Homo-oligomer: A and B are copies of this chain.
Amino acid sequence: MIFPIFFTFVLLLSTSHAADFCVGDLKAPESPAGYSCKKAEKVTVDDFVFSGLGVAGNTSNIIKAAVTPAFAAQFPGVNGLGISLARLDLASGGVIPFHTHPGASEVLLVTQGSIVAGFISSANSVYYKTLKKGDIMVFPQGLLHFQLNGGGYPATAFVSFSSPSPGLQILDFALFKNDLPTSLVAATTFLDVAQIKKLKGVLGGTN
């Protein structure tokens, strides 16, 4: 019993792996579509598994919260697959302040405690709610949203994104944690100069 067809298939399959996946090679050229692909023969199951979300982030900080990402840059197995995850830990009173993901929609899943979460639309409407364990909430791409632990206990959530590289722009960091001149921040936000200088001081911004 001989199988000539297998030679055809072997040729086909060994060269067309990109149809299935493209594990990111973080040191090779990057294109608008993501990282270059690791050679198929070097890919192992560990490229598709990530254990970094199993440990709580350190919430001993000013926002009493931590974000642990499993984006393509940390978890190259999702490169090119249109999806990624992150873990949120919020101590009591912790907050992930207003932020956007320029490149993805997000679904938040509360796995411990309760979280007040919300977003604001282009039409300026406010959508927010207190979520309990097991609840999920979706935040459409690019819109300002927040998560806040208003309960007396720690809360944990896992967030999924519709991109392997969703990006993350935290409003306070964008405005106050760089060298954007105070006068320019004032002119483009209508915030008082004193307010801007105060937050620049807290976050380490200059100018």
A interface with B by C-beta (< 8 Å): 1-6, 8-9, 11-22, 25-26, 28-37, 40, 44-46, 48-51, 53-55, 57-63, 65-75, 77-85, 95, 97-98, 100-107, 109, 111, 116, 118-129, 131-144, 146, 148, 158, 160-163, 165-175, 177-180, 184, 187-192, 195, 198-199, 202
Contact = CB atoms under 8 A, between A and B. Distances in A.
Nearest to A173: B124
Given A22-B31, A75-B136, A85-B160, 9 more contacts: A5-B61, A12-B69, A15-B74, A21-B140, A29-B36, A29-B37, A51-B132, A126-B180, A146-B188
A81 to B, nearest CB: 4
Given A57-B5, A135-B50, A148-B184, A67 B12 contact: yes
Contacts of A198: 192
Nearest to A161: B83
Contacts of A77: 138
Contacts of A68: 8
Contacts of A120: 169, 174-175, 178, 180
Copies, count:
6
A76 B50 CA distance: 30
A198 B190 CA distance: 10
B187 A109 contact: no
Contacts of A21: 121, 140
A136 B85 contact: yes
A182 to B, nearest CB: 13
A32 B34 contact: yes
Contacts of A13: 122-124, 168
A101 B97 CA distance: 20
A122 to B, nearest CB: 4
Contacts of A25: 29
A18 B135 contact: no
A196 to B, nearest CB: 10
A44 B1 CA distance: 39
